[in-house]
Every structure is written in C-alpha cells, then in structure tokens.
Structure 1
C-alpha cells in the first residue's frame, strides 16, 4: 500500500482506521518537507550539540514505527530490527550521534518508505480498535517534526523554509482586559476517555484550584523588551539562585536569536531571515528561568500546570472540561495557530474563536507556555505502552509546558497534552503568560 491510496485529509467523522491513515500521512509529508529542502551534507551535519543530525531523526522516526506498528501491532518480524540499538534515543546522547554509523540519507529514505508500506498493510489488515498505537506513532513523528524545525532554526545559512501564508494582521487588543479571573473550585484535570491521549495525560482526576487572575494573552515581545530595558537581566531580585548562576554562565541578555543592530533596535533571526520582532507577537525562545524572572519583575508569577489547564478547559457554565479551549471540535485556523502554517506566532488577540469560556486567548498554539510545575505523574498514573515515554522524566529536573506552538501539529495539541523540558532550554518554541493569586475582595 502506498501513500497515494490514503483517504483525503479532509473527512467528516473519520473512523479510527481512517483517522490513523490521515495522521500518518500528514506527519510523513511534514517530515519529508523538512528534509527535502536540505542537501545531504546538511542532513548529516550536526547544526548544534543540542540537536541530532536530521538524518538521525528521520531514521529514528522509521525505527519507532517499525517497533510499534510493524512488530507490535502487526506481529511481523520487522524491517530492520538490527537498527534498534543505533536509533535508541536513550542509548546515545544527541551530542554523540554524529559519530555513530548512521544510515546515509538515501538509505534512510528507503527505510522510511519500507516501514511505512508495511505499517499501512498492518493498518488495513487488523481491527484498529481505538488506534492508540497508530495515534502514538503519528504524534511521535509530529513531535520529531517540531524538533527538526528547531534544528532548522539553529542551522546557519540562507533560508530554505517558506510559510504557506503570512501571519494575520495585528489585532487591536485594547478591547480585551489585561487579565481574566478564573474562579476557584474543583475541575476535572487530565483525561480517561481520549483514545489518543498519552499515558502522562491520564487518568482524569479532580483538582481544586483557588481563584486566580491570568493574563488574557501571552507576554509579548514589546512587554519583554521593557523587562530588558529596565535592567531585568542584571537585577538579582528577579532571579532564583539557579537562575542567577545560569544567567551568568550562559551570559543571557535577551531571548535566544535576539541581537541589536548596533543601536537601540532589537532584531531576531528566524529560520535564516533577519528581521525586527513584531512588538505584538508572543515572545519566543525564552527558558523557564527567564520567564520566572520576568514574572517576578512584573509582580506576578507563572501559573501552575493545574491553573493553566483549568483556564484552558473548564467551562463554568456546565462544570465540564472541554478537549480544547473552544470546545470539542477539531482545531481549525480560526481557533489556533498550529501546524507550521505561518512559521511564527500570530499577533496576540488573533484567533478569537479559540478563546476559552472565560475569555482567555491563544491558550493553544503560537508558543508553548512555561508553567511553574515540575513534570510529575497524575494520581493513578500507569506507564503505557513503555516506561521510557514519560515515567523516566518525572521529577524536578523538568518543567511542564502547555498549549503547543505554531510548530505543533493539531494531532499533538489538546487541552490535556503535556510537554516538558529542562528549565534552561531556549531553542524550543516556548513563551509564557503570567498570573496572580486572587484576593478575597476580587
């Protein structure tokens, strides 16, 4: 079976099998688009010690599909079981992968195609049930697509990527309140019913969240520049001890990829383009330590993960938790800036149809949002289908990010989806919003 036999990307109420086919096809087109625009030399180069050579990502994608769809779901011998050790992400740190005997780009593309042919045969031959393994693999490939896009951002050289459409025009946000009150009380966090939810999103459980005020929109480039100009990076009052130490060691003075033009204007590099950062666009490429320092400078704090999810999903009129901030319908461009459509965040206030019931905007898409919370399991967590997906990352070394970015595909973005990374990471497409605890007289 080939990609040409797949059902169209737009389908009404697809069956689990059709949904899996669509998700796998969409992910593969994106993967190849991110690879085919580069020479073999660029695919095999390591553009940053933080990232793998892109050819490793490509073969790792194929290897995971071979393991979970061909061998596990299909009970077949597999295409290349001998490659499992080579493309095991836990066995080889990213910085060491260029020295491995990796498949070359041509061999890697054949490996991708051979695995996909067998995976589609498996999908056609077995009852897919809810399609979880197929959904997991499609989400895995899309997540690596976002990682590959981050590698594109780190590479030097002329631009090779073009956005399908320019970002929306700036929006007048003066009509929006600066912050929104999220009432206190219990809500249902996580999910026990979403068939493609990953293990760390499960199970649904009740959390009682006190009332708090949350920024209506993410923190913008203009607002963050005020923090810089006020000496925020140099004032120890706003930084934790770990933050001060890292700021000094890493010589942080602005978001990653920002630099001055020799005067007072801040420029940024975005996928090879040098430009002024739009002032009303959510700030991007800041680590958790920077976000936390900004929040302290602003007299506020980062929301907890539970606060973020309540603001995104809880409908006070019904008491229910929605799948997305706007409801349970799949994301469209009117709801959120997802899927690499603009290659940058949209101006704050864009996509008003995606606002939450309480009126919080852009909770999904544009930028991953740092939260105050460590990555921990939910009560009743059970690792599935393997420990290394989530369980080995639980603990204080990782902070939770929520909401997805412009680079996140809708299949890997929902109100319950949890991302995590080290608090010093800046190459990821992360920003933030702030909050404050509500007072009794609010």
Structure 2
C-alpha cells in the first residue's frame, strides 16, 4: 500500500476499534432505547456499516449490495429515532458480523483503488475520509447515549494534560476574559481541504466589524452564578420560544445538574455523581440557555462567521488556518479531543492551542453554540448527497462549532459546521460569548 492508503487503513482500523469499544456491552443494553431522542446503540453500530457499504462498495466501487433488505431500516431519514426499537434490527452479533464483512471488502477496494484518479469520490481517498468521519461522529453519538443511560461507559485513554500554565484570568460571573478581533475581511469555509463536507464549501469572503470574544468557553462557575442569580426565573433573558421551552420542560439548570441540601451543585457523569467543577466549560446546555446567559451577562452569542474568524484567521499572513494553532494536525498539547478525558478540561489548560487573536480551547472541550441558523454558503453544491446538509438548511437548526472532548481529531477543524435544534441538551455543547466593539476599541 502507498503511504496515503496506509494512513486511510489505519484511520479505518482506529474508528472501528472505537465503535466496538463503545458497544462492548451486554446485549440488553445495546438493544434498549435509553432515550426517545437517541437510537438503540445496536442501530448505530449496524448503521455505520450500512453507510460504509453504500458509499464505498456500491457508489465508489460499483459492487452488488450485500444486504439490500436492511437499507431502509438503517436509513436515518426513513424512521425517526423513536420508532427504531420497533424495527427488526440486526442483533448485536449479526451487526458485528455484518460490519466486519463490509470492512473486509472495503479494505480490498482500498488496496485496488487508484487514489490519483480525477474522481470526486475516490480521488485523494475522499470516500474513505467520508465514512471514517461519519463513523467517528456516530462514536460521539454513542457516548451521548451512554451518558443518558447512566452507564459508566469506557474511560478516556488516560493521556495526561499538558503542564498547568501560570494562573491567568478566566471567565467570571457577569463578565469574561476577552480578546479583540479587529475589523476586516477573512475567508470563511474552504474549497481546498479534501475531507471537508459540502456545507463547509465553498470558501468565500466575509467582512466583519470589530468585536470582542471570550478567551475561554463559559465555565461551570460562571454559569452557576447565572443559575443562582435567578436566571431561569426571569423571562427578560430569554427569547419567547426559549422561555416557553424552559417553562414547559421545567428546566432549572444544565442537564445532569442537581443541587444538594446545602445548595451546592452536583452533576451526573456516566452514572457517577460528583461536584460540578467550577473551572471546566459548562456543557449540556441548549441554545436557549446559552443565549439567555449571554443576555444576562450583557453580551451575545457570536455568529458562526465571528467564531470562525476568531478561531482560524491569521492577520499576519492574511490567510485562514486549518486549526487555531496552524495547519498541523491536533497534538496532545493543542486540544482536548478524541475522548482523552471523559469531560472538558479546565479552562486555560491548552495555551499552545491558542488562535492568533488569543482565543483558547476553541477546538475540543465543548461544541459551542453560535447565533447563526444553519444555512448554505454562497455557491453551495450538495456532495455527495443532498441529505447530508441541504435538507437541514433553514431556521430550525442553530450552528455549533469547535468539537468537544468526545470529538475525534479527524472530524473537526476551524471550518467544520455542526448543527442541532436549539432545545437539544444531550450533546456535549457549551458556548462562549461575544460583544461588538465600540468605535474607540476597533484596534
């Protein structure tokens, strides 16, 4: 195999090991639906194999289907998650056998593929990157399901954090350590990165006025001040839809938070109760909650263009970086990614991952809500299928950026766009705030 093929094969092996580790559970836990908003874990396991069969074996290689009778069952659009437990799903053993069979043929296709051919799916190994990222995304979904189930789940890989940096200013109640992003244009999105999704394309120029953005994500301690200060009781801080959601659901705090008899906050993390660490980024908050906090703090959520410029734009070179620190792939000193820990790291833990403007931990830790709806970029073209992005465009989904501690490094970058309903809280989501710069602050 060539060097590129070896890297692709190693990536396929690593993602499959992750999927199998997350589903190394009793059959009863795999087939149970732990939440109506999530699929049974065994559905995710077979789905990633069916997706891989569809795109590598059938679309790219033109091979005959292995199990065409299961296609509809594992089509994410054919059956809502709440209906999937009633389907005649493959058993855990059948699912493992099926995905192993698919993978064996995929490796044969990879070995014979001409990755230099000018083919939109096979050229450069694009289709293999597509299925690898897709499976990693389902790995994060599996972790969210395990968190909802209360199962301990697999531990992180135990990799140590970088040495603690000297104590620096961190976000505080009602305020923030913030950095200025000067006015001017930058190039958002990408037209060059081969494994970028269609919704990240094409690259296009965006001109923004100057603004301030938090150096770090909002912490648990800062968010607790909002909660303890009556933030959930005051409709002034909430949009009309957000207040209706909060009232109807009787939401009083981030998901998995509870208060003890002494007034201290605790959280349940993979079935274990523990005090809420004040210096970690808050997670499991909806867009409605993030927006309400920002209003309470006298600030706002950044647009996704503001977020991306703060994350990747280098004013010294005038170009956009793949990551805040540059174009090098994420290393252990840069970010908390790939289930290294089973939770966000304390703010300030990764100074080597800072962006040119000085914002930190924009990659990893928590997905960060933005103020933007999920809409296409100018010149958008669906590839390789409409259902990945196009059918979700509109004013139903808000954009999240940056990835979380559970996101694999291959499935995140400065241009990566995630999206979800503004009321979703099971995802590993938090936020940081922004504000517009005044005329005397524009740098």
TM-score (norm 1): 0.95
Secondary structure of the corresponding residue to residue 245 of structure 1: helix
Secondary structure of the corresponding residue to residue 259 of structure 1: strand
Residues 174-323 of structure 1: matches in 2 within 5 Å? 174=168, 178-323=177-322
Q: Does 1:54 align with 2:41?
A: yes
Secondary structure of the corresponding residue to residue 130 of structure 1: helix
Following superposition, the deviation at residue 80 of structure 1 comes to: 1.2
Q: Which moved more, 1:189-198 or 1:259-268?
A: 259-268
Following superposition, the deviation at residue 170 of structure 1 comes to: 6.4
The CA distance in 2 between the partners of 1:66 and 1:304, in whole Å, is 37
Cα deviation 1:310-344 (Å, max 9, x = unaligned): 00110011101000000000001100100001011
Cα deviation 1:234-280 (Å, max 9, x = unaligned): 01110010011000011110000000122211100011111012110
Following superposition, the deviation at residue 173 of structure 1 comes to: 4.3
Following superposition, the deviation at residue 156 of structure 1 comes to: 3.0
The CA distance in 1 between the partners of 2:241 and 2:270, in whole Å, is 30
Q: Say if 1:189 and 1:207, in contact at 8 Å, map to a contact too.
A: yes
Q: Does 1:150 align with 2:144?
A: yes
Residues 26-45 of structure 1: matches in 2 within 5 Å? 26-36=14-24, 38-45=25-32
The CA distance in 2 between the partners of 1:19 and 1:81, in whole Å, is 30
**Residue in 1 aligned with 2:369?**
370
Following superposition, the deviation at residue 379 of structure 1 comes to: 0.4
The CA distance in 1 between the partners of 2:283 and 2:274, in whole Å, is 14
Cα deviation 1:355-404 (Å, max 9, x = unaligned): 00111100000000000000000000000000000000000100000000
**Residue in 2 aligned with 1:3?**
none
Cα deviation 1:64-115 (Å, max 9, x = unaligned): 0000011112211132122111111001000000000000000000001000
Q: Say if 2:165 and 2:351, in contact at 8 Å, map to a contact too.
A: no
Following superposition, the deviation at residue 175 of structure 1 comes to: 5.0
Q: Which moved more, 1:124-133 or 1:215-224?
A: 124-133
Following superposition, the deviation at residue 161 of structure 1 comes to: 2.2
Secondary structure of the corresponding residue to residue 102 of structure 2: helix
Following superposition, the deviation at residue 172 of structure 1 comes to: 4.9
Cα deviation 1:27-57 (Å, max 9, x = unaligned): 1111000001x10000000000010000000
Secondary structure of the corresponding residue to residue 441 of structure 1: helix
Q: Does 1:435 align with 2:423?
A: no
Following superposition, the deviation at residue 163 of structure 1 comes to: 2.2
The CA distance in 2 between the partners of 1:391 and 1:166, in whole Å, is 38
The CA distance in 1 between the partners of 2:153 and 2:300, in whole Å, is 38
Of the three residues 111, 131, 135, the one matched with 2:125 is: 131
Q: Which moved more, 1:301-310 or 1:262-271?
A: 262-271
The CA distance in 1 between the partners of 2:150 and 2:307, in whole Å, is 35
Q: Which moved more, 1:16-25 or 1:92-101?
A: 16-25
CA distance 1:393–1:100, change in 2 (3 Å): same
**Residue in 1 aligned with 2:173?**
none
**Residue in 2 aligned with 1:337?**
336
Q: Say if 2:231 and 2:296, in contact at 8 Å, map to a contact too.
A: yes
Q: How many residues align?
A: 428
The CA distance in 2 between the partners of 1:160 and 1:90, in whole Å, is 28
Q: Say if 1:191 and 1:416, in contact at 8 Å, map to a contact too.
A: yes
The CA distance in 2 between the partners of 1:237 and 1:170, in whole Å, is 39
Following superposition, the deviation at residue 21 of structure 1 comes to: 1.4
**Residue in 1 aligned with 2:91?**
104
CA distance 1:202–1:322, change in 2 (3 Å): same
Which consecutive residues of structure 1, in runs of 5 or more, have no partner in the other structure? Answer: 1-6, 8-13
TM-score (norm 2): 0.94
Q: Which moved more, 1:234-243 or 1:256-265?
A: 256-265
Secondary structure of the corresponding residue to residue 207 of structure 1: strand
Following superposition, the deviation at residue 15 of structure 1 comes to: 3.8
**Residue in 1 aligned with 2:392?**
393
Following superposition, the deviation at residue 127 of structure 1 comes to: 0.9
**Residue in 2 aligned with 1:76?**
63
Q: Does 1:141 align with 2:140?
A: no
The CA distance in 2 between the partners of 1:381 and 1:20, in whole Å, is 27
